[in-house]
Amino acid sequence: MEFITADDKVKLEGELSDRVRRRKEISDRIGRARELGDLKENGEYHAAREDQGMNEARIKLLEERLKGAVVADTDDVPDDMVFLGSTVRLRDIANDDEDLYKLVGEASGRYDLDYVEVTSNSNLGQALLKTHVGEEIRVDLPRGAKTFHIVEIVT
């Protein structure tokens, strides 16, 4: 079970819908490439088949994620509790560095944001979920354990 925000669900459903629509386009590309003849040396045919395989794999993944996803109800979450969609300022206890982190169901993959996206199923995300301002959390990260102080929830 994976917790996602309502916005995450809309994005996943939109991508799924787009990819299902692309099936016909990719199928048409395969048909046109097949008409060109010899399939062994037909680059367009092989590229279209590869696109079809990647598209179908992504459709399957999206369907599985949506089937197992639970949309988190954030309406009744206290203002001082970290929950899905919260942006928090954390201070690294070891060096006093402060950074902003946003707890998300699915990362957007963007690196131009003012905060670091943290998925709810990551080690840091699980440690942050349902904590409060003023608490300290210990997280096992790939480069070793770190301790953070939750400074504030930014709105």
Domain boundary among 71, 97, 131: 71
Q: Which domain holds residue 100?
A: 87-154
Structural domain total, the chain: 2
Length of the chain: 155
State pTM to two decimals: 0.65
Q: What is the pLDDT of residues 75-99, one digit of tens each?
A: 666 777 888 888 999 999 999 999 9
Backbone φ and ψ of 111, nearest 5°: -115, 10
Q: Is 9 among the domain residues? A: yes
The whole-angstrom separation of Cα 94 and Cα 140 is: 14
Q: What is the pLDDT of residues 110-151, one digit of tens each?
A: 888 999 999 888 999 999 988 999 999 999 988 899 999 999
